[in-house]
Amino acid sequence: MPRSAAFRPTDRWGPAWALSVLVHAALLGPAAWWGGGQQGMLPGVQEREIGVVLRRSEAEPERLDQVLEPTLAEPREAPPLDLAALTPPAEASPLITDLLAELTAAPAPPPQAGAASGSAGAARPELPYGQTRVSVFGLEATGGRFVYAFDRSMSMRGTPLKAAKQQLVASLEALSDIHKFQILFFNHSVSAFDLSGGRNRVAFGTEANKQRAADFVSGITADGNTLRLPALEQALKLRPDAVFFLTDADDPMTARQLMIIEEMAGSATINTIEFGVGKPTARSNFLMRLAEATGGGYVYVDTQKLGR
C-alpha cells in the first residue's frame, strides 16, 4: 500500500537532530571556553599548582564593645576630703592612729627668715621617741632621764627657795609616763625624793608620781650649810641624761672636786643655775666651768628680781 505523500523520513528526523545539536553545544561550549581561557589569560606563564587551606578559628570573635575604647567622660572635680572626719576606730593600731594624727594636724608655720636658732617662732627639731624637753629658769635640757639637785642651805631661805621650788614643779609637767626623774635637795646632807624604799632609784613621770613629788618639794625648808659634792655624786650615780644643778657661787668647789664630777658625768650634761644678788660680777666661776666641761648650759638668776 503506497505511503501517504504527507509522511516523509526527513520530516521525522529533522527536528530531533537539531535538538541534539543544541543540547551538545550548550554543554560543550562553556567547557571549551573555560579551558581555552585558562591557557590564554597569561601567555608564557608556567602553570603552577597552589593549595589553599581554610582554617576555622576556634577562638571566639571579639565583641565590638570589647575592641573599641570607651568614651572618656568629662573629668569632674573630686569632692574635698574631710581629714577631720578620719577618726580611727577603737581597734585601730597605734601606727594607724599616729598616721591619722599626722594627717589631721595643722601644718607647722615656716621658720621666719633671720630667726635665731632656738628662739620663739623658729622651727624646733622633733625629738626621738622617749625624749622630751625640760626647762628650769629658761635653761633647757633634752632627754628621758632627769635629776634635779637644788641647794636648800640657809642662803636660799625665803623667796629664792620658793622660786626654785615653783620652777622645779612646773618643769615636771613636761614629763610623761615613759620619762624618769629624781629630786635631790642638799645642804650639809642630801634629802631625796624616794619611792623605792631607800634604793635610790628614779621615778617614772606618771601623774601620781608628779603629784607625790610636788608634795615632797612643798615640805622642803632652808637651813644648814652647803656641801655640793655629795649631792652631785649621788645625782650622777643615777645615770641621768641631764642634771639641773641650782646653787649660789659662794664657797666655790675646788679644782679637785670639779675633776671628780667631770669624770663621773660621762655623757650626762650638767646645767648650772647660779643664784646671786645683783648683776653677775665674775667673768668665770666654777658653775660656768662645770657646765662647759659637761656640755650643759649656764644661767644666772638675780634673786632681787624674783617675785616681782
Identify whether 5 is part of a domain. Answer: no
Residue 199 in any domain: the answer is yes
User: What CATH code is carried by the domain that includes residue 265?
Assistant: 3.40.50.410
Residue type, 270: I
Global pTM value: 0.61
- Residue 201 domain boundaries: 142-305
Overall residue count recorded for the chain in this entry = 308
Write the pLDDT tens digit of every residue in 194-223.
998 888 899 999 999 999 999 999 999 999
Q: Within a domain: residue 160? A: yes
**Domain-located, residue 131:** no
Mean pLDDT score, 33-43 = 46
- Any domain includes 35: no
Task: Give the dihedral sign, CA 300/302/307/308.
Answer: negative
> For residue 273, which of 292, 298, 302 has the smallest C-alpha distance?
298
Residue 267 lies in a domain: yes
Write down the pLDDT at residue 95.
41
The answer to whether residue 266 is domain-embedded is yes
Total structural domains within the chain: 1
Q: Is the dihedral of CA 108, 112, 113, 117 positive or negative?
A: negative
Provide the pLDDT for residue 193: 97
List the grid coordinates of 274: 647660779
The residue among 135 and 121 whose pLDDT is bigger is 135
In this predicted structure, the answer to whether residue 52 has a pLDDT above a threshold of 50 is: no
Residue 13 within a domain? no
